[in-house]
Amino acid sequence: MALLGPLGVCLAVFVAAILAPLALGGLGRLDKVPLTAPERVPFAGGLPPLVHAWSRYHARYYVMALVFLAFDMEMVFMYPWAVVFIREGATAFVEMGMFIAILLLGVLYIWRERALEWS
């Protein structure tokens, strides 16, 4: 019964935090005012867009995204390793050495394939 008071206050604050922006957002809506042609063009530094918004990306962007994910996943595995390293000692050091060696092989491969060049 003692939790009902603080729980009710928290629930009321949460509901107010969700509903207040929705209610206040409806007051300043301008969607009923018709827009002129320049206002309908997407903003791009004051210049008209050069390509359509649905244009395709070059394949090199996907390669860079995959390389970024590989190194991002490396960091995800290295943080817990740093905590376990103190407890496990040499075994953890050897395992991380093998992990970094495999990643280094991947870096050498993408370097050989010239995936890091923007030519």
89 within some domain: yes
1 within some domain: no
Residues 52-111: tens digit of each pLDDT: 777 777 777 787 788 888 778 777 888 888 888 888 888 888 988 998 898 888 888 888
- 95 and 48 Cβ atoms separated by less than 8 Å: no
86 within some domain: yes
pLDDT for residue 109: 86
pLDDT for residue 17: 92
pLDDT for residue 94: 92
Task: Report CA-CA distances (Å) from 22 to 8, 12, 16, 26, 95.
Answer: 21, 15, 10, 7, 52
pLDDT for residue 71: 79
Task: Return the CATH number at 107.
Answer: 1.20.58.1610
98 within some domain: yes
19 within some domain: no
Rounded Cα gap, residues 112 and 107, in angstroms: 9
Residues 29-56: tens digit of each pLDDT: 666 667 777 777 766 666 666 777 777 7
Q: Which residue segment(s) compose the domain that 85 sits in?
A: 60-119
Give the total number of structural domains in the chain. 1
